[in-house]
Structure 1
Amino acid sequence: MEETISLKENYEIVKKRIWLILSITIIAALISALVSLFVLTPIYQSSTQILVNNSESEISGFDINDIRTNTELISTYSVIIKSPAILDIVIEELELNRSSGVLSSQINVKPENNSQVVSIIVQDANPTLAAEIANTIARVFKTEIVALMNVDNVSVLAEATVSEKPSPIKPNPTLNIAIAIVVGLMSGVGLSFLLEYLDNTVKTEQDVEKLLELPVLGSISQIKEQEENAFVSSQQNQPVGSVTIES
């Protein structure tokens, strides 16, 4: 029984402050939409793929040991691709106004499902520049790896391209608005319960019983102004000496 009463009280609290909850939710959604559409800088993504294969100096043919060796080299190649030895050359060729550390934070090197294929993914506010950086990194790495590790087993599998109408990968306005709605609802409900907890005024018979721990024997109901005016009018229209008995 106590659980039923508690759920009912919670419902009444939410119902009483429903406009506060809705207002906070709507404001949060509007702020999220404005920030996502007009404040945050759109970020575009472009990627190129390289293939780690057998050295050209070796005899061609299928060798499982070569494939295993090349697959293990991919983790080493991933570190080298994001190193200053490669990125400094890329920055110089493209005349980028950023350090190798900043450029490295824009790059993600991802092996494709334990295969010999590696994707070089670049994110930038300029979609064309993102594609240029990805392609330049692949080309520079293919050239420099020969001198760095004395191997020639890298080839460019697919170059990065830019579509006619590129779409940014972030921000995602729909996702941001959905998150803002959830956060707004949670904040509104939490604020409603906080205000109810801080409100120590006595409003109902139940409040009196909880405060004084005494049963309520009677209560004086509040008469609305319209009812009071109707009652006075009816009394004035009655003949003198008449008595009205209400059951």
Structure 2
Amino acid sequence: MTNLIFLLQDTIPAAVADSTAVATTAAPETSVNYFSLLMKGGVMVAPILLLLFFTLYVIIERALYISKASKDSDKLIDEVRMHLTSGKIENAQMAAARAGTASGNILESGISLIGRPLSEIEGMMEKQTNVEIGLMEKKLGWLGLVAGIAPILGFIGTISGVIKIFYTISVTENISIGSISGGLYEKMISSGLGLIVGVVAYSGYHFFNMSIDSFALRVQKAVIKFVNIITVGK
């Protein structure tokens, strides 16, 4: 009995130590360096990153411009009405020019033709509206282009990487899972990155187009108010 106890005392700690060693071996601590992982995506990662930076630049630049140009025109139209009902056409034109917005430019173009036929005034305001909308839509085509190109570049990087993997397998005749999965996950990085850049560009493109559509609707209402002011005085 005493020998059995001594045997258990020697065996149990050894078994615990072995199981701890196995657990440690099975679950090693890993840390992911995302930058180095990104650089493993292949040669297509560099142009996709350039497209990302360009997309962010266009989005920020357009956001600043459109937010400034499309400011609400309700207060401006009220000020213009006040001056026009008082017969101060020059003051109304100065107020519209001082606003520094697209709505101000459109109203100024109409005020400058007061006294001419109504159709001519409306035609000039419509032309100025088209100019202002064109300025807002400037550079948005680049976002649409990036939205289409970035995912394609990512897929090209992935396909070229897969071709390289299978070419290596055909030469070395090493068809192990490790060699395939190790190279494949690296090449999928370019596809993932290209899709992310494409989504960012696509979202920015449609967001700005919706903002411009909303601005165009507000301008149409402002033009109607302006026409009512110069025709019926209210």
TM-score grouping bracket, smaller chain normalisation: under 0.3
Q: TM-score, normalised by structure 1?
A: 0.25
Which protein is bigger by CA-based radius of gyration? 1
Q: TM-score, normalised by structure 2?
A: 0.26
Larger strand fraction of residues: 1
Larger helix fraction of residues: 2
Larger RCO (CA within 8 A; separation ≥ 6)? 1
